[in-house]
Amino acid sequence: MKYALMIFEADADFAKRQGPEAPAYWNAWMAYSSSLKAAGVMAGGAGLEGPTTATVLRNIDGKATVQDGPFLDSKEQLGGFFLIDVPNLDEAIKWASRVPISELGSVEIRPLLPPPPNAE
């Protein structure tokens, strides 16, 4: 079964991507991602640039309107996601517990929708 592990990070976490803490930050993510691969459960994923780079498009009165900034106004922002293929939710939770987020972050686990029947 496929799950998305959606990783939410705080401003302080995004800040670690540059500066003195950057090597440790990136090393941890690379180590996690290589462990997923080594275990044969990796099904995809990507890291995202920080929330300040976000552009939001809304449909206002039937017209597409472009806005600056992230969609959600919250302390945590989506920092990236992994797709994993594991037997069940408990395995997904196990892998989520290994995601190298700080105490400020969180991981949301969601099953992927099954592909539509005529996808082939």
Total residues found in the chain within this entry: 120
Binding site for other proteins (CB under 8 A): 23-24, 27-28, 30-36, 38-39, 89-90, 93-94, 97-98, 100, 102-103
Q: What minimum distance in Å lies between the beta carbon of 45 and other proteins? A: 13
In terms of CB distance, is 61 or 103 closer to other proteins?
Answer: 103
In terms of CB distance, is 24 or 72 closer to other proteins?
Answer: 24
In terms of CB distance, is 72 or 89 closer to other proteins?
Answer: 89
In terms of CB distance, is 58 or 98 closer to other proteins?
Answer: 98
Q: What minimum distance in Å lies between the beta carbon of 5 and other proteins? A: 13
Determine contact, residues 87/10, Cβ cutoff 8 Å. no
Spatial separation of the C-alpha atoms in residues 63 and 48, rounded to whole Å: 27
Q: What minimum distance in Å lies between the beta carbon of 73 and other proteins? A: 27
The secondary structure element, H or E, covering residue 109 is strand 106-111
Which 3 state secondary structure label does DSSP give 24?
A: helix
Determine contact, residues 68/51, Cβ cutoff 8 Å. no
Q: What minimum distance in Å lies between the beta carbon of 17 and other proteins? A: 15
The closest of 69, 32, 67 to 50, measured between CA atoms, is 69
